[in-house]
Amino acid sequence: MTNGLKMRDVRHDGRHAHDHDYVTRVRDINADTPARYNADPDRLFESSGCAGKLAFCVRLDTFAAEKNQQVFYIGTNQPAVLTEIRRHILANFDNLPVAGEYMHRDIYDIAEQYGKDTFLMIDKLGTDKMPFFFTLKGRTDAMLEKVNFSDRISPTARCRIRPPVSQPSATANEKLAR
């Protein structure tokens, strides 16, 4: 094992943090009930019913890290298409997706306009540098706030005065989303 833990340090007592019926329940695409929800009393073991808003102690199972993760962006103007895709994935794929999010087109456009700096920083420097840059931004904003400077520049203007950077090319998937 890692981090100094040994197998004898792990208690195998039959209790698990995850729901063993999760895959079966989520794949039941014709059920009249929701596949999952935060305050499901059948899934809250010895919980006070706080619906996920507060936790003092959490039991977590560990799983091997996924080696071949992929991210897909699917764009459509027809919600029924997304429903059909979701139902197909749940019913037919060997492995369930780790996450699935619906984003309105406006969010995509906002991210495209205002999120390029963050995207390029992650792309060029990696996610491990993000805390440093957020700290730097917070300190800079705090200093400029004292002289009433940063509040006079709109977010759009701040995006325009940044140093020129090469724009990421639109992939075929991004073009299809339009």
Q: What is the pLDDT of residue 19?
A: 76
- From the list 28, 38, 32, the residue with the least C-alpha distance to 87 is 28
SS3 of residue 77 by DSSP? coil
Domain ranges of the chain: 105-148
CA distances from 80 to 16, 64, 86, 166 (A): 37, 35, 10, 37
Structure tokens at 100: 């699935």
Q: What is the pLDDT of residue 92?
A: 95
Global pTM value: 0.51
Q: What is the pLDDT of residue 176?
A: 42
Dihedral sign, Cα of residue 71, residue 74, residue 75, residue 79? negative
Q: How far apart are CA 117 and CA 164, in angstroms?
A: 10
Q: What is the pLDDT of residue 178?
A: 45
Q: What is the pLDDT of residue 177?
A: 46
Structure tokens at 80: 């029924």
pLDDT in tens, the chain (178 residues): 566 778 887 777 776 677 778 888 889 999 988 877 666 777 766 655 555 555 556 666 777 777 888 888 788 888 899 899 999 999 999 988 888 887 777 887 787 777 888 878 888 888 888 889 889 888 988 888 887 765 566 555 555 555 555 555 555 445 444 4
